[in-house]
Amino acid sequence: MGIDPGLTRCGLSVVQAARGRAVLPVAVGVVRTPADLELAQRLRRLSDAVEEWMDDYAPDVVAVERVFERGNVSTVMNTAHASGVLMLSAARRDIPVHLYTPSEVKKAVSGNGRADKQQMTAMITRILGLTEPPRPADAADALALAVCHCWRAPMNARLKGTL
Amino acid sequence: MGIDPGLTRCGLSVVQAARGRAVLPVAVGVVRTPADLELAQRLRRLSDAVEEWMDDYAPDVVAVERVFERGNVSTVMNTAHASGVLMLSAARRDIPVHLYTPSEVKKAVSGNGRADKQQMTAMITRILGLTEPPRPADAADALALAVCHCWRAPMNARLKGTL
């Protein structure tokens, strides 16, 4: 499961790793919470939605985008609050959580840590064999996180094994 | 209930508003999560502890310190993740959450938005009639948040009533 955390829009995706580097799309969506609702209640709505996804798809692992300090302060803080709530839902189900920075995801998926949104969307569409590009951007980002983990997990496991 | 959010140390307090500006101490403590544990599991430990406090004391309202971007980036992000998880616990119990900035708390409790830790601890000790200053600082901060809310809530309610 890939999660692009956000309070206004949170991208969610589920993929299935197949033979070699093949990755199959299972589900993708965006959870929105109304900006006029109180922060704590927005977090509750988000948490409820993500827990429903986790119950429905029972993912083996969750890949979440690591939140950085960039852009509008209150947006960053809301994203960090949202991310905390999402990680909690995974932890409560004993689902391992892996964090990836945006540039790690770009590098893994497109080979270029500075790929733009258009390039990323094109790559994800091709990798997953989708008939049309995933929209909105948060949905594509969630898929990219999931693909990134599928491709990096075997390498991460090997690295751990040699330590 | 007053909460000074944090992942390494989270201050928790419960007070009872009494006649006039009197505030009675009920409980104070600090929850710690081990730094060598994975982030998601630390959030789970914190959430479990806070939910236990909420179940034990059934607070009417929760005052939480608003997280700002200052100091070490990863500390700020961890605090923001922690704060999201704490607010969620309150929202799940339908307990209203009020956010206060550090300077709002200082101003409400000491009359000075730039009061230092020592002044704040002295004020809190006196206001609550404690026999010794609360330690560590996170515990004192949690009590200050709770006192701040007790004193500001009637004014906030009046302001809302006039809108």
- pLDDT tens by residue, A38-69: 999 999 999 999 999 999 999 999 999 998 76
Of residues B27 and A160, more confidently modeled:
B27
Give the C-alpha separation, A91 to A86, whole Å: 9
Per-residue pLDDT tens over the stretch B121-140: 999 999 999 999 998 889 99
Mark out chain B residues that contact chain A at CB-CB < 8 A. Answer: 38-41, 43-44, 47, 67-69, 73, 76-77, 80-85, 87-88, 90-92, 96-97, 99
Say if residue A163's pLDDT is above 70: no
| Closest by CA position to A92, among listed A51, A42, A142, A44 | A51
User: Hey, what amino acid is at B125?
Assistant: T
Q: At A100, is the pLDDT very low, low, confident or very high (cuts 50, 70, 90)?
A: very high
Give the C-alpha separation, B9 to B29, whole Å: 10
Q: At B94, is the pLDDT very low, low, confident or very high (cuts 50, 70, 90)?
A: very high
Say if residue B163's pLDDT is above 60: no
For residue A97, the chain B residues in CB contact (below 8 A) are 38-40
Range of the domain at B108: 2-160
Contact A102, A95 (CB under 8 A): no
User: Hey, what amino acid is at A60?
Assistant: D
| Closest by CA position to B65, among listed B152, B153, B5 | B5
Residue B24's CATH number = 3.30.420.10
pTM above 0.95, yes or no: no
Give every CB contact of residue B28 below 8 A, 6+ residues apart in sequence.
B11, B12, B13, B14, B134, B139, B142, B143
3-state DSSP assignment of residue A32:
strand
3-state DSSP assignment of residue A14:
strand
> Can you list the alpha helix ranges (DSSP code H) found in A14-136?
39-57, 73-92, 102-110, 117-127
**A94 assigned to a ligand binding site:** no
pLDDT at A151: 95
pLDDT at B162: 59
Nearest CA in chain A to B90: A40
> Tokens 């589900």 label which residue?
A27
Say if residue B159's pLDDT is above 80: no
Could you tell me the sign of the dihedral formed by the alpha carbons of A138, A139, A142, A147, in that order? negative
pLDDT at A162: 59
pLDDT at B140: 95
Residue B161 has φ and ψ, to the nearest 5°, of -60, -25
CB contact under 8 A, A43 and B84: yes
Q: How many domains does chain A have?
A: 1
Q: What is the mean pLDDT of chain B?
A: 93
> Can you list the alpha helix ranges (DSSP code H) found in chain B?
39-57, 73-92, 102-110, 117-127, 137-162
